[in-house]
Structure 1
Amino acid sequence: MEGDESSAHLHGTAKEVPWLRTFLTQAALCFFLFVAFNIGQPQIKVPLSSAPGLGEERSFGSSTEFYFVSVAGGSRPLELQSRLLKQMGMIAKIYKPNFVLNIGQFGEVDPLWFNVTLHPELSKIPWYTTTASKGRGIGNFMKKIQLPYEQVLEVIGIDTGPFQNFSQNEINDTDFKEQLNWLKQTLAVTSSDWRIVVGFNPLVICNQQNNKEAMILWGLFRDIFLRYRVNAYLSTNGCSSYFYNDRGTTYIENPRPTDRLQSSFFLHGVSPQEIKTYSVDYGGIVELKNSISQQGREAI
């Protein structure tokens, strides 16, 4: 009897092994197919658990963060521009940004606009663009945006054309004075919770540009930003670092098309307490780079 039971047990095991092998083989094939389909696809890598991950749907009505994108406009090689717009489209699909800030000097004829219509996720949300024209305030704009948690974000765009190639003699120039006065008057009447000024030209003084005229120009804006509690100034980059905090205002410089670094654009998340800025590179990697508190003091 014992021999029969042992023989039956061995016979049953022999029947189970092929089934198990078949199951493991099928599981392995599914795994390798999954890997094959995902090879070469851009990945989202967010190092903070508080930030949404790949595939999460964001609802502004219940979310604690409100997103927008900033990107430097201008001409790029066709392949690079296609990759940029593809990554921006992917970010738009995942994070549901409310708008895009196109930071450029050509306004509505900026080259980055030409292929946006090929990306539905980007073309269906508002784009606000800066200019650096020779006119008087042609590219100025002010947008008040209601956030989902009873706060207001105000984005103020200024035409920085009169500030290019600045010299001390231009302080009394009509266009220059009008632009400064417009900025002060616009900020003076705002009561928003968050205040962001955006322009094409950077204002941070680099060591290699540390001349008297540049210091005066920066000082003029610095005093205005301090007086009216501006949280951030967004522009294209002019220094080696993309983020600089000074007296409560953070200067955020978007990578230009000619920038050799890997970052391609920024994703900004606004919550009741802070604004987080994430860099997104051409491979689709998202990394937290900077955080601004409600008082405008840099947290990271």
Structure 2
Amino acid sequence: MKEKSWICTLIVQLSLCIAVYTALNTGHNLLIHEGRPPIDMHFLTVAGGFRPLQKQTLLLQQMATVAKTFKARFVVDISEVGGSDPLLRNATSHLALKSMPWYTTGASEGQEKTYFLKKIKIAYGQTLDIIALDTVLFQDPSSSCGKDQIQWLTRTLKESDSDWRVVIGFHQLISCDYNFWKVKEEAPFEPLHKILLEHGVDAYMSMKICDGHIHGQAKESNDAGLMDKGPYLTSMDQNLVIKDEAVDGFFLHRISSLEMVTFVVKLTGEVEHGAPFKQRGKAAM
């Protein structure tokens, strides 16, 4: 019985490796042979936090492969604990990930404040702003720290002359109980949502947190308190959310002069092509 169990485990692992290899090569062909110039910039977004060892190992292996293949410039890590994130700490075992900057939400080592701006030069003479927020502070915006962050964010967006603006935070902007036609904002984050719309932010990335819900439907009572494990992308428009994705895996983003395309790489190795969205920038203001 033990021998049979060992053989089954080996077969499953080999099948998973083959699936990952095939999917990543499919993703490689998909991106490379679309006729896109190699000058386009790529980066990754992942949800940090604890995972079982097997899942964490598989996730980091996939991220390292994709980062090396597409010469990704950096990783956005959505985490509550910043530099203490276990996924970030274990990424050091992969050279392709260790050599890349990781921009994390949450308290990071050596930082006085838990919110910051990274201005990144990309192709075509353009720049990308990665703006990390401490979304916990929005749950009590009347506090001195909450007010400071709102003032800093508003000032940063007003002064920015970058072509792309991507804001990251741990909490999602949109309630789990929403549909495409009627957006229901999470009450504590309604002011943040309005600021991002007003100042031409292109996208907001967060963790997908739905206690007791999956895609707007209640979970079974014994699953209450669980959350979707993956990054969550909300592209901004003046009046509604036009794109959202949640996945147990990670995102590969490609930015050109006029559009941003997000590819979803799942833990199974499956690669999905996301719909592109156009740059909003100052024209939206």
TM-score under structure 2 normalisation?
A: 0.73
Alpha-carbon contact 1:103-1:130 (below 8 Å) kept: yes
2:85 corresponds in structure 1 to 110
Indicate whether 1:78 and 2:78 are aligned. no
Indicate whether 1:228 and 2:186 are aligned. no
Q: Match for 1:85: what amino acid?
A: L
C-alpha distance in 2, partners of 1:47/1:100?
A: 18
Indicate whether 1:219 and 2:204 are aligned. no
C-alpha distance in 2, partners of 1:41/1:123?
A: 21
Q: Match for 1:145: what amino acid?
A: I
Per-residue CA deviation, residues 149-183 of structure 1 (Å, 9 max, x unaligned), is: 111111111112223xx3xxx34222221221111
C-alpha distance in 2, partners of 1:112/1:76?
A: 8
Indicate whether 1:275 and 2:260 are aligned. yes
**CA 1:225–1:48: 2 relative to 1, 3 Å:** farther
**CA 1:123–1:243: 2 relative to 1, 3 Å:** closer
The Cα of 1:132 is off from its aligned counterpart by: 6.2
C-alpha distance in 1, partners of 2:112/2:259?
A: 30
C-alpha distance in 2, partners of 1:223/1:188?
A: 14
Indicate whether 1:202 and 2:166 are aligned. no
C-alpha distance in 2, partners of 1:294/1:40?
A: 34
Q: Match for 1:247: what amino acid?
A: D
1:182 corresponds in structure 2 to 152
Alpha-carbon contact 2:120-2:128 (below 8 Å) kept: yes
Give the number of aligned pairs.
236
**CA 1:253–1:237: 2 relative to 1, 3 Å:** farther
Q: Match for 2:127: what amino acid?
A: V
The Cα of 1:64 is off from its aligned counterpart by: 3.9
Per-residue CA deviation, residues 17-73 of structure 1 (Å, 9 max, x unaligned), is: xxxxxxxxxxxxxxxxxxx9x956522223985x226xxxx9xxx624210000011
TM-score under structure 1 normalisation?
A: 0.69
Alpha-carbon contact 2:173-2:186 (below 8 Å) kept: no
Alpha-carbon contact 1:105-1:131 (below 8 Å) kept: yes
**CA 1:66–1:119: 2 relative to 1, 3 Å:** same
2:237 corresponds in structure 1 to 247
The Cα of 1:139 is off from its aligned counterpart by: 1.8
Please give the residue correspondences for 1:43-192 in structure 2 after superposition, counting only pairs within 5 Å: 43=22, 44=24, 45-46=26-27, 49=30, 51-52=31-32, 63-131=38-106, 138-163=113-138, 166=139, 170-192=140-162
Gaps of 5+ in 1: 1-35, 256-260
**CA 1:194–1:245: 2 relative to 1, 3 Å:** closer
The Cα RMSD (Å) is 3.1
Alpha-carbon contact 1:71-1:254 (below 8 Å) kept: no
2:21 corresponds in structure 1 to 42
**CA 1:154–1:191: 2 relative to 1, 3 Å:** same
C-alpha distance in 2, partners of 1:39/1:217?
A: 44
1:293 corresponds in structure 2 to 278
C-alpha distance in 2, partners of 1:143/1:121?
A: 21
C-alpha distance in 1, partners of 2:149/2:160?
A: 17
Other structure's SS at 2:97 match:
helix
Alpha-carbon contact 1:279-1:287 (below 8 Å) kept: yes
Alpha-carbon contact 1:234-1:253 (below 8 Å) kept: no
Other structure's SS at 1:42 match:
helix
Gaps of 5+ in 2: 1-14, 179-183, 217-231
**CA 1:234–1:202: 2 relative to 1, 3 Å:** same
C-alpha distance in 2, partners of 1:67/1:103?
A: 17
Q: Which has the larger radius of gyration?
A: 1
C-alpha distance in 2, partners of 1:48/1:219?
A: 40
